[in-house]
Amino acid sequence: MMNLNVGVIRKIPVPLVLLCAFFTFLPDFLDDYETFYIDDMAWFTLLFPCFIFSYYLGLYGGVFTGIILNAYHLSWFFYEKKFHSEDMVDESAALHIGISVITLSCSIGVGVLTEKLQHKQLKIQELNEKLMQMALYDSLTGLPNRHYFLRKLEHSLRKKKQVCLMFIDLDGFKRVNDQYGHEAGDQVLIEVSRKLKELEDEDVFVSRLGGDEFTVLLKGMNIHQAQAQANRLLHLLQVSVNDCRISASIGIAACQPDDTPATILKNADSAMYKAKLAGKNAVYVV
């Protein structure tokens, strides 16, 4: 089944398309003017448009182009022979048929090589995406990791916009790991991450720092809006594993003009520990 991607056609530069048209009609033009006449080998100029279209459109596009060009070429050639009452089958006919076979073969060859190249490029792109996923995202939860978070935080601070940071630590998580094993603990982390992802939008960036620590970066929110969001999170992050109840302690820090990613993260972390000292399952603002 022919699978031409029309979107790819637009990627062929217009000057190349015009040049292909020029080389397609050049032999016919030269044959009409004896002053510029060259022999039948001029039809090898059809190789140029075959190469170009095969490169940009792949195998099917190349074959289609080769068939159209050669149909035009042979139709013109035999029409001229009939018009001049010449023998239809002679050495020049064999030459032109040979030229058609060569140009069509080149179209197929370049098309096959192009598709193989595109396949390899897609493989490389997939590998790069996997490497990017591994470099910037947590493998267990799928949330952005610490490295990605710090990059995002630094970028937000450079914009000099209002930024608040939540630092979240789960209460009772160690007990789940100790009593029911790390698989149960991983399921808790996955469930908590799923709930945090519900908050994500263009102004909310959720990440997992490591262990049972998470951050939520809030752009364009003041400290009161961030606190209201955190209070809703306290109810959202209630998780039970048999007799173990998981809750969250949340520290909030608002970005100051001279803050760096390290200082605002430290402030939010300190606020989280104060929430734990206050009895856990609480929000503390600095």
The residues that are catalytic are 212
Q: Helix or strand or coil: residue 254?
A: strand
Structure tokens belonging to residue 183: 């698989």
What is d(CA 91, CA 77) in angstroms, rounded to the nearest whole number?
13
Structure tokens at 139: 């493998």
β-bridge mates for residue 252, sequence order: 166, 285
CA distance 218 to 204: 5
> Taking the mean position of all CA atoms in its chain, how far away is CA 118?
15
User: What is d(CA 203, CA 219) in angstroms, rounded to the nearest whole number?
Assistant: 5
Short-list 275, 255, 274, CA closest to 265: 255
Residue 172 is given by DSSP the state S
